[in-house]
Amino acid sequence: MFEKLKEKIEKKKAVVGVIGLGYVGLPLAVAFGDQGFKVLGFEINKRKVDLINSGRSDIDDIKDEQVKKLVQKGLLKATLDFTLLRNADCISICVPTPLSKTKDPDVSYILSAVNQVRKYLHPGQLVVLESTTYPGTTEELILPILEETGLKVGKDLFLSFSPERVDPANKNFTVKNTPRVVGGTTPLCTRITKLFYEQIINKVVPVSSTQSAEMVKLLENTFRSVNIGLVNEVALMCDRLKIDVWEIIQAADTKPFGFMPFYPGPGLGGHCIPIDPHYLSWKLKSLNYYARFIELAGEINSHMPEYVVERVTRILNQVKKTLKDTNILVLGVAYKRDVRDVRESPALDVIKLLQNAGAKVKYNDPHVPSILMNSYIMKSAKLTSALLKKTDCVVIVTDHSAYDYNWIVRNSKLIFDTRNATKLVKDNRGRIIKL
C-alpha cells in the first residue's frame, strides 16, 4: 500500500481531498491544484461550495482568479457530497476546533469529519489532521475510529498529524515557503505524509510522533500568547509610571541578541492565539498539572478590552466629558490588520463594553461591512471628515494599512491609539493618546 500511494503522489495521480475550505483548507486545496493534483474540497456550507465552484474565493489570501483557473481546468471541485471521499487518496482534515464556554476543547467538528472518512475509507488512503488540538487527539480519538473498519493504520492506511501554520495577510510567508511539521502514527505514516506535503511545500520537518507534532503547534501559539501577555502587562505598568511603552519596546529592540519585540494591544483575536494555549492547559489539568504561564497570560490578555474602555473613560474625563451619551468611533473590527476575519476580535468586546457604559458607538472597517452585535446587525459607517469631527473620541483598535492616519488625526478631536498606528504622524497637536 505504501509503494502504491507513493507512486501516485510522485506522479501527481493521487486525488487530494480537503475537508473544510476555510482559511486553512482553501489555500491548501489551491496549492495542490496549482501543482497539478486533482482536488476535492468537502464542505457543509452550500453557499461556500457554490462560491468556489463559480470561481470565487471568500479567503483574503486567495484571489478569485486562482480559484477560477483551477475550477475551469477541473483541478478543483467543492462538494457537499461526502461519498466522494471514496475517490480520494490523500485526505486533509482542516475543520475548526473552538473552545466551549468553559474553555474545554470542542473536537466535535473533528469527530464529525473523521466519521465521514470512516464511512468511505479504503486501503491505501492517507488521512492527515491539520486542525489544532491537544496532544494525543490523533491516536486517542481518530485512530480507533478508522481501525473500526478492520483496516490497520501503518499497514493498510496511513494516519498523521500536521499542524497548519497559516498567517492570514502575511505576504512574505505562504503555504509554499512556510516549513511544515509532520508526525505519523508509524514511521511509514510519517514518510508518506512528508512526501505528500513536499509536493507543495519547500521544507517538511518530520517529528517522532503525532503527539510531538500536536505539541509543536501549541508551543508556537502559547509562546506568542505568553509574550503578548507579558508586554500587555508592561503596558499597564507603563501607564501607571507615565512612560511611553512604545518607546520602551523600540529601544529594547536595538539589542541584537536576547530580545524579541512583541507589542501590546486591545486584546487577542483570531482562531489560534486566544484558543490554542487553552487546549494545552486543559490537557495538563487532566494530568494534575496547572499551566500557570498560560492561565496568567490568558487572564491578562482577556482583560485588555476592559482596560481600553477604562482608558477611554479617563481620557474623556480629562476633557470634562463622560462616556455615557458620548460619540465613539471604533476604527477596525477585524482581529488583525488587513483581514476580514472578526473571530475572537477584541474590537467586538470593546464595542460591547462601550455600549454597555452608555456610549453611542459607531465603527468603520474597510474589510468588514457589517458585524453581529447583541442580536442585531451593525454596519460599518462611512469614514468622512464630518463623522470624525462630530466624534468625541476615535479608538483605533485594528491598524489597517488602508487608513490615512494623517488625515484621520487632522479631522479628529481626540484619538486613543491601541496599536501605535499613528507613530508616523508628526503634527498630532496633542490629539493622540496611546495605549
Q: Considering only the top CATH level, what class is 2-208?
A: alpha beta
CATH T-level topology, domain 303-435: Rossmann fold (3.40.50)
What is 210-301's CATH superfamily? Answer: N-(1-d-carboxylethyl)-l-norvaline Dehydrogenase; domain 2 (1.10.1040.10)
Question: Annotated catalytic residue: which of 90, 94, 238, 272?
Answer: 272
Residue with cell 477584541: 346
Does the pLDDT of residue 371 top 80, yes or no?
A: yes
Q: What is the average per-residue pLDDT within 360-372?
A: 97
Instruction: Indicate the pairing of strand 376-379 with strand 370-373.
Output: antiparallel
Q: How high is the pLDDT of residue 178?
A: 96
Q: What is the average per-residue pLDDT within 111-137?
A: 96
pTM of the model: 0.92
**What's the alpha-carbon Rg for the chain, to the nearest Å?**
24
Tell me which residue of 214, 209, 216, 253 sits closest to 231, measured CA to CA.
253
- The chain-wide mean pLDDT, for the chain, equals 95
Give the model confidence (pLDDT) of 94-111 as tens digits: 999 988 777 788 999 999
φ/ψ (deg, to 5) at 379: -100, 150
Q: How high is the pLDDT of residue 99?
A: 82
Cell matching residue 272: 489560534
Percent of the chain with pLDDT over 70: 100
Work out the pLDDT band at 276, boundaries 50, 70, 90: confident
Burial 23-32 (b: 16+ CB within 10 A, else e): bbbbbbbbbb
Q: How high is the pLDDT of residue 272?
A: 80
Does the pLDDT of residue 19 top 80, yes or no?
A: yes
Does the pLDDT of residue 36 top 90, yes or no?
A: yes
Work out the pLDDT band at 375, boundaries 50, 70, 90: confident
Ranges of beta strands (E only) in 222-375 are 327-331, 360-364, 370-373
Bridge partner residues of 377 (DSSP): 372
Q: How high is the pLDDT of residue 322?
A: 96
Cell matching residue 63: 484571489
Is residue 189 part of the annotated active site? The answer reads no
Give the model confidence (pLDDT) of 400-435 as tens digits: 999 999 999 999 999 999 999 999 998 888 899 999
Tell me which residue of 276, 170, 298, 269 sits closest to 216, measured CA to CA.
276
The domain segmentation of the chain, as residue ranges, is 2-208, 210-301, 303-435
User: Hey, do 2-208 and 303-435 end up sharing a CATH topology, with the first three levels equal?
Assistant: yes
Give the model confidence (pLDDT) of 168-197 as tens digits: 888 899 999 999 999 999 999 999 999 999
Q: How high is the pLDDT of residue 235?
A: 97
